[in-house]
Structure 1
Amino acid sequence: MFVLKTIDDSVRILPAEQRKPLPTAITDELNRKYSNKIKPKLGLCIRVLDVLEVGDGIVHACLDGSAMFAVKFRIIVFKPFVGEIIVGKVVNASPEGLRVSCEFFDDILIPEYMLKANTVYNKHTSQWVWQYEDEDSGDVQNMDIERGELIRFRVEVEHFNEVRPNALNGPMGPNASTPIPPPAAATPSGTGKELKSSAYWLECSIIEDGLGLLSWWS
C-alpha cells in the first residue's frame, strides 16, 4: 500500500530559509512541494523520508538571492498495487456502488458490478444488501452493508486524471501535482462523476470469497 520512490528534482531555497541547516531547508521545501499531493502516475505523496544527494547551489543574486539545488530524495507514496487486499470503511452508498475511505484517502469506489452476486440496492434505506443463500438449507439471509462498517476489498484498477486547479491554469502537465482537498466535516458523498473526476482514484471489488464486510467472515 505504501512504497518508497526515489526522485530527482530541483528546489528553490529563499533567503529567509537559508538560515536553517541546509538539509532541513531542503526537506521542508520538498515537503511543501510534494506532501499531500497527487503526482501523476506516482500516487499520493505522504512525506519525504530522506535526501540522498544535494548538488552545488546556484544563487540568483540578481533576482531575490534564492539558491537552486539539484537533489535526489526518497518519498513515501500511497499507491496500492493492482490485486492488493486492503481494509477500509464504508462511507457512502448509491445505485452506482460503494464509496470507501482509508481515513487519509477517500477516493475508493466499489462499483455495483464489482459487488458480490445477488447484491441489490435498497432505495428506501440507501444501502446495498447481499442476499446470501445458504448452500445447504437454501435459506436466504439479507446482509446489509451499512455506513461505518469495515470492509475488505481488492484493488482492480487505478485511475489518474488530469485536472484543472482553476480556470486560468489550464490542464495539468505530466509533472504537475494536485493538492488533496482538506478533509471535509461531512462524510464524502459522491460515488459517481464527482469521484471519477478526482486526480487519483481506485476501482475495487468484493466479488471473491473472504472479501466484503469483516463482520461477514468473523
Structure 2
Amino acid sequence: MFFHVKRLSKNLQIEPKYYGPSLAVVIKQRLQDEVENSCSERYGIVLKVFNIDVDNLEGKIMPTGMHPGGTAVFTVPYDAIVFKPFKGEVLNGVVKSSAAQGLFVQCGPLQVFIAKANLADDNNGLEWRGDNTPPCWMSRDERIVIGDKTHLRLRILGTRIQNDISQCSAVGTILDDYLGPID
C-alpha cells in the first residue's frame, strides 16, 4: 500500500536564468512539480518527495545544439512516499459513480472499478435500481444501499499501473467476507 522508497534520483534540466543563490530552491520546486502525483510502473503513484539532497549537486552543461546555451543537467537524489496497490489487498474508498455496469470507487489516488459480476451475486442479493432517486445498488430487503458517496471496503483483483497517472487503475470486488458498505 504505502511505502517509503529511499535513494531515488531524477535528472533535471535547469536553464541558466535560474543559476544563482536561489538555485537550490528552484531545483527542489522543479523536482516536486515533476515527480509528485506521477506514476511509475515500478513504484506506483508518487505522493510526496522529501530528503531532497541539493547540498552537493554538480550540474553538467548540455551541448548548445540540443538545448538552449548553458542549460545544465543536475542528478537530484531524494526519498519518496509511494502508493502501490497489490492484487488481494483490501482498501477503503468512496463511490464516485454508480451505474448498471458497476461502480467507480476512489481509494486515495487510485480509481477502482467494481463490475456488476463482482458486486452482486445470489448471496448478497444486490440489484441495480436505476429508477430510484438517486440510482443505486440495493439489496432485495432494502437494508444495503450502495450509491454515490457510499464508503466501501473492497478487495483488489488486479491493477494497471502505467507511467501516466490518468492511466493508473484497478478492478475490485466486494463479494468476499467483511467487504461492502462501511457504516
- The one of 97, 110, 114 equivalent to 2:114 is 110
Count of residues in correspondence between the two structures: 173
Stretches of structure 1 that go unaligned for 5 or more consecutive residues are 132-139, 162-176, 181-197
**Distance in structure 1 (CA, Å) of the matches to 2:38 and 2:102:** 26
Contact 2:40 2:161 in 1 (8 A): no
**Distance in structure 1 (CA, Å) of the matches to 2:29 and 2:4:** 18
Stretches of structure 2 that go unaligned for 5 or more consecutive residues are none
Structure 1 stretch displaced more, 82-91 or 20-29: 20-29
Deviation at 1:60, TM superposition (A): 3.6
Deviation at 1:41, TM superposition (A): 4.1
The corresponding residue for 1:3 is: 3
Alignment of 1:36-185 (within 5 A): 36-51=37-52, 56-60=58-62, 62=64, 63-102=68-107, 105=109, 107-117=111-121, 118-125=125-132, 126-131=135-140, 140-160=141-161, 177-178=163-164, 180=165
**Distance in structure 2 (CA, Å) of the matches to 1:148 and 1:74:** 34
The corresponding residue for 1:207 is: 175
**Distance in structure 1 (CA, Å) of the matches to 2:115 and 2:60:** 51
Pairwise CA RMSD = 2.6
Deviation at 1:45, TM superposition (A): 1.9
Structure 1 stretch displaced more, 50-59 or 78-87: 50-59
Deviation at 1:87, TM superposition (A): 1.5
Deviation at 1:23, TM superposition (A): 4.2
Could you state the TM-score of these two structures normalised by the residue count of structure 2? 0.78
Could you state the TM-score of these two structures normalised by the residue count of structure 1? 0.67
What secondary structure does 2:31 align onto?
Answer: helix
Deviation at 1:98, TM superposition (A): 0.9
What secondary structure does 2:82 align onto?
Answer: strand
Contact 2:110 2:168 in 1 (8 A): no
Q: Percent identity?
A: 24
Deviation at 1:55, TM superposition (A): 5.2
